[in-house]
Amino acid sequence: MVLLHVLFEHASGYALFAVKEVEEIGMLLPQVEESVLSIGKFNSMVSLAAFFPFKSAQAALENMNAISEGLVHADLKLFLETNLPRSGKKKAVLGVSDAKIGAALQEEFGISIQTGGVVAEIGRGVRLHFHSLVKGLTAHAASKAQLGLGHSYSRAKVKFNVNRADNMIIQSIALLDQLDKDINTFSMRVREWYGYHFPELIKIVSENSMYCRLAQLIGNRKELTEESLESLEEVVMDNAKAQAILDASRSSMGMDISPIDLINIERFSNRVVSLAAYRLELQEYLRSKMSQVAPNLAALIGEVVGARLISHAGSLTNLAKYPASTVQILGAEKALFRALKTRGNTPKYGLIFHSTFIGRAAAKNKGRISRYLANKCTIASRIDCFSEIPTSVFGDKLREQVEERLSFYETGEVPRKNVEVMKEAVKEVSSMVDNEKIVKKKKRKQVAEETEVQAEEIPAAENGAGETPSKKKKKRKAEEAEDAVVTDNRDEETDTPAKKKKKKTESVDTEPAEETAEIAVSEKKKKKKKKENAD
């Protein structure tokens, strides 16, 4: 005979249900699925053995965090130890919905655990009729507890997310790519729209953002004069181009345009210019975030390419776990699977192709340098992920190694060994850490001194605000008097050496007189002792 107990974790507490006639229920699984829906039939199969309510919302959150991680909380351990029968003729089996927590319970108590099958159906029924099975618990209170625990659990997950700094990089690089596409599309629209009025400007100015600024500045080409030449030079940064724009506006073959159309073109070009300015700000933000999160990877391969690698991997931790062969073709998955399917040549590089190193290498060395660069990228990402002190020293050294490898492929000059380079980097980092410690000590001393000064000033202020300036004046006067005495003594030492000699002779004369007085006293004491001995 088997005695099955089912553990159910609810937002209000732990519940242990005893299941009757387990063997028959297991044989008639379709009938069990039907009887789960009606509370009367389900009560005949399942009865509440014990219930342990959580004391507070914090205790409920701690227990749910432990269950989600597959750990046995102290409350759950105490509940099962007191309520789970483990001795008797019937073999005790505990049914659990999650296999992860089931393995932890089996290791903790040494009992047989059952998951799936009948346990899953009974768990479904318990979840449906939980408020009816537990006395004193209403459906409204149960749903309220579930809602509160769900909010607190989600809030804790978001708050203590390990990859929250990586998420900012992932979102910013995605937005940067989207902005590039949008700015290009909008700029082409401005070119086409304003080209009806001033078609010659497209040939003179090829850059998108500059064209939009000029369209915003010029407006109606017929209004351009010699006075507007300086403002054109400020935008174009070239005197010849500004003069060419002025000449082309006088002999342009474009059609006339109404003021309303010009207003709309100017508004749209203004939006494009503001988007381009925001893109520059976003790129600066990405650079600062990469210097904080992954400084070595940014120093090695650049901020944009490094951010794309982190975004494609999902997080810096995932990127650090990848081997160098995976990092090498990261972003070229379609080409890889196509090559494997057609039995063709596999791709040599993925996202790292956008780095400057592969573009500088010769065609025959592109595969070699991409493999070498991917190796260094994995080292840099692991240092960034697992080091406590964020420094770009290792990234700079790894970049030097890639440069040396490029020159080795071109000239044949033998590069340094990796061990030597890493030793140099470790020395630099240790010296930086020592300097930081010294700076921190100095700051602590300054803070301690400031707090002491503040502590001295507080009681003085309590005694009376009028007393403190008078005391300060007295101290200043005393210090000035001491300084004056010191200066007088120095003057005396320099001006009157004869007085010093007199003082010395007087002290020499007084010393022998004192010695003779001491000798006379000692002789009198000796005479007294002799008389006492004679008596």
pLDDT exceeds 50 at position 467: no
Tokens at residue 185, please? 């599309």
**Is 113 in contact with 28 (CB distance < 8 Å)?**
no
What's the one-letter identity of residue 177?
A: D
* Lowest-confidence segment of 91-100, 209-218, 378-387, 392-401 by average pLDDT: 91-100
**Is 252 in contact with 199 (CB distance < 8 Å)?**
yes
Query: Higher pLDDT residue, 368 or 462?
Result: 368
Rounded CA separation 64/66 (Å): 5
* Lowest-confidence segment of 44-48, 230-234, 463-467 by average pLDDT: 463-467
Of the residues 244, 262, 284, which one is the last residue of a structural domain?
A: 284
Tokens at residue 462, please? 């309590």
pLDDT of residue 434: 81
- Identify whether 354 is part of a domain: yes
pLDDT exceeds 80 at position 26: no
pLDDT of residue 20: 77
Domain that holds residue 368: 294-432
Rounded CA separation 512/526 (Å): 22
Among the listed residues 166, 161, 150, the one whose alpha carbon sits nearest the alpha carbon of residue 12: 150
pLDDT exceeds 90 at position 454: no
* Lowest-confidence segment of 83-92, 168-177, 228-237, 341-350 by average pLDDT: 83-92
Query: Higher pLDDT residue, 378 or 95?
Result: 378
Q: Taking residues 266-272, report their average pLDDT.
A: 93
Among the listed residues 175, 141, 133, the one whose alpha carbon sits nearest the alpha carbon of residue 54: 141
pLDDT exceeds 50 at position 277: yes
User: From the centroid of its chain, how far is CA 283?
Assistant: 18
N-term to C-term CA, the chain: 120
Q: Taking residues 174-191, report their average pLDDT.
A: 94
Rounded CA separation 507/468 (Å): 46
Tokens at residue 479, please? 């210090």
- Identify whether 236 is part of a domain: yes
Q: Taking residues 408-422, report their average pLDDT.
A: 89
- Same domain? 274 vs 213: yes
Out of 8-17, 301-310, 448-457, 487-496, the most confident range is 301-310
Tokens at residue 457, please? 């000033």
pLDDT of residue 160: 60
Rounded CA separation 346/353 (Å): 15
- Same domain? 248 vs 321: no
- Same domain? 253 vs 305: no
- Same domain? 15 vs 113: yes
- Identify whether 225 is part of a domain: yes
Confidence class for position 446, pLDDT limits 50, 70, 90: confident
The CATH number of the domain where 395 resides is what? 1.10.246.90
User: From the centroid of its chain, how far is CA 28?
Assistant: 55
- Same domain? 260 vs 354: no
Query: Higher pLDDT residue, 502 or 155?
Result: 155
- Identify whether 518 is part of a domain: no
Greatest Cα-to-Cα distance within the chain, rounded to the nearest angstrom = 149
- Same domain? 308 vs 334: yes
pLDDT of residue 496: 45
Number of domains present in the structure of the chain: 3
pLDDT exceeds 80 at position 28: no
β-pairing, 13-19 vs 112-114, is: unpaired
Three-state SS at 113: strand
pLDDT of residue 498: 43
pLDDT of residue 382: 93
Beta bridge partners, 15, equal 8, 51
Q: Taking residues 427-434, report their average pLDDT.
A: 85
- Same domain? 14 vs 95: yes
Q: Taking residues 469-493, report their average pLDDT.
A: 52
pLDDT of residue 461: 57
H runs (alpha helix) in 134-163: 139-159
Confidence class for position 501, pLDDT limits 50, 70, 90: very low
- Identify whether 251 is part of a domain: yes
* Lowest-confidence segment of 96-100, 268-272, 289-293, 435-439 by average pLDDT: 435-439
Rounded CA separation 41/86 (Å): 28
Confidence class for position 408, pLDDT limits 50, 70, 90: very high
List own/partner pairs for 494-499 with CB under 8 A and 24 or more apart.
none
Of the residues 127, 158, 189, which one is the last residue of a structural domain?
A: 158
Tokens at residue 202, please? 């497209």
- Same domain? 143 vs 181: no
Query: Higher pLDDT residue, 527 or 224?
Result: 224
pLDDT of residue 136: 81
The CATH number of the domain where 199 resides is what? 1.10.287.4070
**Is 32 in contact with 123 (CB distance < 8 Å)?**
no
What angle (nearest 5°) sits at the alpha carbon of residue 15, between those of residues 14 and 19? 150
What pLDDT digit, counting tens, does each position of 282-331 carry? 999 999 999 989 999 999 999 999 999 999 999 999 999 999 999 999 98
What's the one-letter identity of residue 269?
A: S
- Same domain? 260 vs 139: no
Q: What is the mean pLDDT of the chain?
A: 81
Of the residues 432, 451, 468, which one is the last residue of a structural domain?
A: 432
- Identify whether 512 is part of a domain: no
- Identify whether 10 is part of a domain: yes
Among the listed residues 357, 351, 356, the one whose alpha carbon sits nearest the alpha carbon of residue 407: 357
Query: Higher pLDDT residue, 144 or 524?
Result: 144
- Same domain? 150 vs 195: no
Q: What is the pTM of this model?
A: 0.60
- Same domain? 251 vs 377: no
Q: What are phi and psi of 88, to 5 degrees?
A: 145, 180
- Same domain? 320 vs 338: yes
- Identify whether 494 is part of a domain: no
Among the listed residues 46, 49, 53, the one whose alpha carbon sits nearest the alpha carbon of residue 125: 46
With 0-12 CB in 10 A as exposed, 13-18 as middle and 19+ as buried, what is 510?
exposed
**Is 384 in contact with 297 (CB distance < 8 Å)?**
yes
What pLDDT digit, counting tens, does each position of 59-90 carry? 888 888 888 888 888 888 888 888 887 766 66
Per cent of the chain over pLDDT 90 is: 27
Q: Give me the sheet containing 91-95, strands edge to edge.
A: 46-53, 13-19, 2-9, 91-95, 112-114
Among the listed residues 5, 3, 42, 6, the one whose alpha carbon sits nearest the alpha carbon of residue 123: 6
pLDDT of residue 193: 92
